[in-house]
Amino acid sequence: MPVQAQAAVFLRKNKIEKSEKQSPVCETIKCNASIWFRNGIKNHNLRKLHARQRLQQISGGSHSTEI
């Protein structure tokens, strides 16, 4: 078998293997959506924490924070 034919076969097999290993687009979207969701929750909780800390500073900080 000529070298060019061997190279073509190798590249074809390699391309097929790579396409089989790649995750479908929907899985990466779900992953990204999951990360966005978790980051949104973290940001929401940080905003709530900062708001409570500001309230504590305004009120003199004598109250304990119950979460």
DSSP 10-61: HHHHHHHHHHHHSPPHHHHHHHHHHHHHHHHHHHHHHHHHHHHHHHHHHHTS
Distance separating the N- and C-terminal Cα atoms of the chain: 73
pLDDT exceeds 80 at position 1: no
Is pLDDT above 80 for 23?
no
pLDDT tens for 24-64 read 555 666 678 889 999 999 999 999 999 999 999 988 865 55
Cα–Cα distance measured from residue 18 to residue 49, given in angstroms and rounded to the nearest whole number = 46
More confident residue, 9 or 62: 9
pLDDT score for 29: 67
The structural domains of the chain, with segments of one domain joined by +, span 24-58
pLDDT of residue 45: 97
The pLDDT value recorded for residue 44 is: 97
